[in-house]
Amino acid sequence: MVLLSLVATHSDVDLETVARLSVGADQVASAVLADGPAVSGAITLATCNRLEIYCDAASVDDVEAARSAVITRISGLSGLPESWVSSAFTTRTGEDVARHLFAVGAGLDSAVVGEREIAGQVRRALIESQANGTTSGPLVRLFQEASRTAKDVGAQTALGSQGRSIVSVALELAADLSLTREFTDKSVVVFGTGAYAGATMALLKEKGCTDISVFSSSGRSEAFVSTRGGVALTAEDLPAALTTADIVVGCSGSDNRVEAADVERVRASVAKQLIVVDLALSHDFDPAVGSLDNVELITLESVRLAAPSEQAAALSQASSLVADAARTFQDRQNSRAMDTAIVALRKHTQQVLESEMQKVRAQHGCTAAAEEVEFALRRMVRQLLHVPTVRARELAAEGRQQDYAAALEALYGIDLETPADQSAETSCPVRQDPPATGTA
């Protein structure tokens, strides 16, 4: 088992590239698993400013095949050339996979450092993968540990008390651009019913806004407002709502983009200012709306540039927590990998013992003497296995589990990929010997 990740984020590529790569992202994991045995598990993390694919490859030799499978699938779904897709992604393996994901979950790799929404997105990525049957044991542990690390960073550093998010920074920008900073007198239209829409609704209420309408091209606005408040809009209601709105927040990412000409038409008779906040990666609004009279446009790039810098001490502490958690996770993974070798060694040795005991039974039958011989041999085997077992753990902690596996194959001919079958059940019933002390 080898974990790898393919990462394209706002830190390395522009948001338009991320958006183009993300077309069909929800199909990547299942498609890659269907391609062959190189990948045994996959999870997709797609947000407003990142596309990350996490894979569980069968072995080190399968890493390149796994990466190629992901690139090919994304190319096919997005319609982009494979060479272009490949150059957009950074590939990580080993401890770097955990370190990056833990930093992402803790908000350290976000446009707004310490943001809260990303931790929920990491959790949902795992839940969706489990529901779709595309994950694996190592990937489940990786994402669960990422969530725990995010909680630790939030609880133990000043980042947790900042309460900043992409939504909060965007609304602060909207207040800065408004004639008044108060939201109590503003009419707001929200596009979308996802996580960002929910965060937007909650923050608007905190700011005292009571005139909130919600539009969803998929028809989910009624259910959305039933638990959060606000008024659900239909397609027929939307033009009138846009005519009177002070702020419009787009976070749906649907294919039904609002064109600049549409905004200009419905606002033709209105002289007051309109602030459009477009938080959708694929744009809910034509970027040209920013050039219309009395219209101000706030985008994800605007949020990134306006995001406040965090204190160096808090960032350093959070980064240390992430690094420690990643190192611990990798040590545990190494130890788990070594468990396979230990089980194989025990199985091999027990099979040798069974072979010898069958000879004893064939010669002496099911007698008390033979039973005593068996107890003695079993104690001997446990003593022989004690030092190799301890040494396996030590090598795992040093990251040298491959050395141990190679030694097993060289010394005993044990292939960890195809361990020998259990020997047939013994013909004689035997009593259980008491557990040995001081042995593995």
**Is residue 220 annotated as involved in ligand binding?**
no
Q: Is 309 helix (H, G, I), strand (E, B) or coil?
A: coil
408 in Cβ contact with 416 (< 8 Å): yes
**Is residue 197 annotated as involved in ligand binding?**
yes
**Is residue 304 annotated as involved in ligand binding?**
no
Structure tokens at 156: 């133990």
Strands 187-191 and 2-9: unpaired
Structure tokens at 38: 């190189």
**Is residue 38 annotated as involved in ligand binding?**
no
**Is residue 418 annotated as involved in ligand binding?**
no
- Please report where in the chains the tokens 């350093």 appear, as a residue: 316
**Is residue 193 annotated as involved in ligand binding?**
yes
**Is residue 47 annotated as involved in ligand binding?**
yes
Angstrom CA distances, 439 to 346, 384, 387, 388, 407, stand at 13, 9, 8, 11, 22
Residues sharing a CB contact under 8 Å with residue 331, sequence separation 6 or more, in sequence order: 396, 397
Q: What is the DSSP letter of 237?
A: T
Residues sharing a CB contact under 8 Å with residue 195, sequence separation 6 or more, in sequence order: 117, 120, 121, 124
**Is residue 250 annotated as involved in ligand binding?**
no
In terms of C-beta density within 10 A (0-12 exposed, 13-18 middle, 19 or more buried), how is residue 348 classed? middle
**Is residue 192 annotated as involved in ligand binding?**
yes
Distance from the Cα of residue 320 to its chain's centroid: 20
**Is residue 115 annotated as involved in ligand binding?**
yes
**Is residue 48 annotated as involved in ligand binding?**
yes
Q: Which of 48, 55, 209, 251 is catalytic?
A: 48
Strands 295-299 and 90-93: unpaired
**Is residue 410 annotated as involved in ligand binding?**
no
**Is residue 439 annotated as involved in ligand binding?**
no
Task: Report the run of H or E that residue 102 belongs to, with start and end.
Answer: helix 95-105
**Is residue 54 annotated as involved in ligand binding?**
no
428 is a catalytic site residue: no
Task: Report the run of H or E that residue 175 belongs to, with start and end.
Answer: helix 166-177
Per the annotation, binding residues for NADP(+) are 192-197
Per the annotation, binding residues are 47-50, 110, 115-117, 121, 192-197
Per the annotation, binding residues for substrate are 47-50, 110, 115-117, 121
| Catalytic positions | 48
